[in-house]
Chains A and B, each alone.
Chain A
Amino acid sequence: MPTKLSRYALITIVAAAVSHADASPRTKPKPVTRADIDRLEQKIAVQRKVIESLVRIQKEYAASLAALIADPNAVPANEPKEEPKQDAPKPDAPKPDAPKPLKQFKREPIEKPNGTVAGKVTGASDVYVYVDDLVATTATATATMKQEGKQFVPRVLVVQKGTRVDFPNRDAIFHNVFSVTPDSSFDLGSYPRGESRTVKMSRPGVINVYCNMHSQMVGYILVVPGSHYVRAGADGTFRLSVPAGHHRIVAWAPNAKPAVKEVDVGDDTVALDLELKQGAAPSHTKKDGLPYGSYKE
């Protein structure tokens, strides 16, 4: 549930549901059984759907209203727009598809001045630096991670939340792309050269991508919450444009524990050095949990 609004709605609803079901004060917490969890899970799922639907309607209403007040020619936020297809979003570049729709809510848009966070990340390669606490609206861009030469290309892909990632097969053989990352798992099945499958990256976090047929194929997708991210140079230096305010800056690299620091950004450059410790790639199994075996490719 992405917004504050929906969170509050969910809390209110569940509070009402529970108070209705059990009005007496709790004296001793009952042990929670699996059935309780299942029941609550079902309730949560139903409530979420209802709330999401209502939030969408309210947003559409608000957007239309704001558009009428601020700019009679504006497009409502949820109206589908044609987006240019791109291979990978350029880091630190303004994302025309992310925050724009919400701007239409504003009568008098106020742009906070942009500051800069610059520094160096040591201890790892393929490093990305991003702002963890700036959440943009869901992106509609697409990115691509190919299967080529029994490898994922690029091996590391960073996308904004909501980006659709294409997985085209460029090899002469079949591949089966999958991920078992909790909350972001998917299984694209077997498909040959020339075919592609797409996955929408809905949750921020790191998604490890594998092939069920070729154990050496490992890819990493970092889904960042917003549009403020940048790839560090080969020497680890980076320069990230960030709106003024207090922010959480994260440095990430494959197989390294992310380094997090909080900074106060004004309209000046803030110096920030971070250290990562990159380890070996963890072993992984097939999608069904079985080891690959040594050489059954």
Chain B
Amino acid sequence: MTPRVSVWAAALAITTSPVAAQPAEPDPTTEAQESAEPEPDRDEATVEMANRIDELETRLQSAEQSRKPKFPVKLSGYGDLGFFATEGDGSGFRRDIGHVVFPDRANYAWVFYGDLLATQVNTRGDAADLGDAPGVDRFDSIHSRGNPTFLVNELNMTVNAGLGEKALFESSVNFTPRTGTDFRLGDSFDVDLAQLEYMPTPTTSIFVGKVDSVIGIEYKTRKPPQRFGITPSLLSRYTVGTAVGLKARSKLLNDFLIVSAALTNGSFGTEQFHFNREVDTNTFKTVSGRVAVRIPIGDGAFEAGPSGSWGTQDGVPDGGRAMWFWGVDAELDLGRLDIKAQFLTGKAPGEAVSMTYALDLKKSGYVEANMILTPLIGILGRAEFRDAEVSEAMSRLYITKNWRATAGFRLLFSPHAIVKVEASHNGEYGGVPSVPDDLITTSAVIAF
């Protein structure tokens, strides 16, 4: 049937319809009823056709439903592009040559002061330059030597797969384009998340795989699209990593109590001083947990609680002393204003035979405030410190008494297009000489 014939048929139908024949109905509401009842004198074939149309429409709806995938897969990701400039040579530490500054530490072959990661320029936590410390061969992924540099901070690809309504597989791979050296490719990729999340109830999740941290709160914003600013805090190196193992998280008492726990190969650190490894080197695992209360305040909430971890340090044989961290965190989220604070302390014993680094994190902490001024513009400020010593047997010692003040702003064009600018001043205290390592960094995040 051509459209033209259809039009004539429709016109015929309308002109012979009861409504056309009876222009005035007594009840306006019933006049517009969606009644499917045919008139008694309708032809049987017409009734049959009406039934058939109904049946076909029902089948069409079923067909539409069946077209929806039972196991939906979503590919997403982001690109994080940046530019940064630092003071000095881009590194955050100096060598105490001749043990002039710390003569009481002359028992170590090499003593350094400052913070190796003070000049983190992106959300990954890459330092602008790792310096030229003697006796080690480090992969200095940026190695800017103090020069202002454009940088593709990170490209990310995330694949989420729904396995019914109660299970979700999430994997996230980071690609970092870098310069190669000595005919080695500098480009690298890392699988930073590969977890299966099963939700037996709407408030409880069980994870298996390479899972997110349970220490503190900063891990929630460890990726560029989620983080308000650019750089991670000074203590994030112990809290925002992902580890392989099991994890469970539950919100109880109508979301008042949040409990999470994990059993993993190692810690949730990211610092490359042997405090974490993908694959365990000993039998004993690391146990982590967090308990927090969440109190609704107006449109926002206040959440606070302690968290910690305990287990044999990677690189250290079974039976050695445990590595542990503990701390407290608090966050006041009022929608436009988000204030968060965290304190962390911890120790890793290290091991002289295997040359595994030891850590004495005496104390570290930060306070950060993020404020949304307009839907487009947001500002942030962060104050923090870190007091720690890292040593490798009696050969190397890094002494850090560092504080940092950071200010920045964010332009949120949409959840898919964000531009951020940050400036940080790094300072030293407690008799540690000043290291020129202030920096300014930018980031443009394009998420898809």
A99 surroundings in chain B (CB, below 8 A): 28-29
As a 0/1 sequence over residues 141 to 170 of chain A, the CB contacts with chain B under 8 angstroms (1 = contact) are 000000011100000000000000000000
Given contact pairs A15-B49, A193-B375, A55 touches B14 in the complex (Cβ within 8 A): yes
Q: Which residues of B contact A103 (CB under 8 A)?
A: 28
Taking a contact as CB atoms under 8 Å apart, the answer to whether B162 and A289 are in contact is yes
Q: Which residues of B contact A259 (CB under 8 A)?
A: none
Residue among A100, A182, A192, A243 with max Cβ neighbours from chain B (10 Å): A192
Assuming the contacts A46-B6, A193-B375, asked whether A37 and B63 have C-beta atoms less than 8 A apart, the reply is yes
A51: Cβ under 8 A from any B Cβ: yes
A171 to B338 CA separation, bound complex (whole angstroms)? 14
The B-contacting residues of A in range 89-109, CB under 8 angstroms, are: 99-100, 102-103, 105-108
Q: Chain A residues near B300 (CB, 8 Å)? A: 149
Given contacts A148-B299, A150-B299, A243-B27, contact A58 B20 (CB under 8 A): yes
Per the bound structure, the CA–CA distance linking A255 and B11 in Å amounts to 44
Which chain A residue shows the least CB distance to B170?
A293
A149-B299, A192-B375 known; A4 and B19 CB under 8 Å?
yes
Contacting residues, chain B, for A133 (C-beta < 8 A): 33
Which residues of chain B come closer than 8 Å to A13, judged between CB atoms? Answer: 1, 6, 9-10, 13
Quick check: is B202 within 8 A (CB to CB) of the other chain? yes
Q: Is the CB of B375 within 8 A of A66?
A: no
- Residues of chain B from 35 to 53 with CB closer than 8 A to chain A in the complex: 35-36, 38, 43, 45-46, 49-50, 53
Residues B205 and A294 in contact, CB atoms below 8 Å apart: yes
Distance of B98 from chain A, by nearest CB (Å): 52
Query: Within 8 Å of chain A (Cβ to Cβ): is B272?
Result: no
Contacts of A291 in B (CB 8 A): 162, 164-168, 197, 199
Whether B13 pairs with A12 at a CB distance below 8 angstroms is yes
Interface string of B134-173 (1 = CB under 8 A from A): 0000000000000000000000000011101111101000
Q: Does A236 contact B (CB under 8 A)?
A: no
| CB of A173 closer than 8 Å to a CB of B | yes
Contacts of B74 in A (CB 8 A): 288, 290
Asked if B29 and A283 sit within 8 Å, CB to CB, the answer is no
In the bound complex, do residue A137 and residue B335 qualify as a contact, i.e. CB atoms below 8 Å apart? Answer: no
Stretch at the interface among A16-24, A115-123, A263-271: A16-24
Complex Cα gap A148–B45 (Å): 55
Number of A-B residue pairs at CB separation under 8 A: 202
Asked if B26 CB lies within 8 Å of chain A CBs, one says: yes
| CA gap between A171 and B59 in the complex, in Å | 41
**B382, CB-defined interface residue at 8 Å:** no
Interface string of A49-65 (1 = CB under 8 A from B): 01100110010001001
Q: Distance (Å) between the CB of B168 and the closest chain A CB? A: 4
The count of chain B contact residues (Cβ–Cβ below 8 Å) is 75
Contact A65 B14 (CB under 8 A): no
Say yes or no for B12: interface residue by CB 8 A criterion.
yes
Shortest CB distance B337–A (Å): 9
CB-nearest residue of chain A to B249: A294
Closest Cβ of chain A to B286, distance in Å, is 21
Let me know if B24 is at the binding interface, CB within 8 A. yes
In the complex, what distance in Å separates the CA atom of A10 from the CA atom of B6? Answer: 10
Range of interface residues on chain A?
A: 35 or more
B252 is an interface residue with CB less than 8 A from chain A = no
Most buried by B among A8, A50, A54, A225: A8
- Encoded as 1 (CB less than 8 Å from any B CB) or 0, chain A from 267 to 297 comes to 0000000000000000111001111011100
Identify the closest chain B residue to A62 (Cβ): B23
Q: Tell me which residues across on chain B come within 8 A of A294, comparing CB atoms.
A: 197, 199, 204-205, 249
Q: A4-B19, A149-B298, A291-B166 are in contact. Are A40 and B56 (CB under 8 A)?
A: yes
Check if B353 is an interface residue, CB within 8 A of chain A.
Answer: no
**B107 touches A (CB below 8 Å):** no
Closest to B56 in A: A40
- Within 8 Å CB of A62, what residues of B? 23
Interface residues of B in 345-402 (CB under 8 A from A): 372, 375-376
Of the listed stretches B65-73, B182-190, B314-322, B423-431, name the one at the interface; the rest are far from the partner chain.
B65-73
**Is the Cβ of B6 less than 8 Å from the Cβ of A7?**
no
Closest to A12 in B: B13
Report chain A residues within 8 Å CB of B335: 149, 171-173
Verify if B414 is at the interface (C-beta below 8 Å from A): yes
A149 to B296, CA, bound (A): 11
Give B residues with C-beta under 8 Å from A.
1, 3, 6-7, 9-14, 17-20, 23-36, 38, 43, 45-46, 49-50, 53, 56-57, 59-61, 63-65, 68-69, 72, 74, 160-162, 164-168, 170, 197, 199, 202, 204-205, 220, 249, 298-300, 335-336, 372, 375-376, 412, 414-416
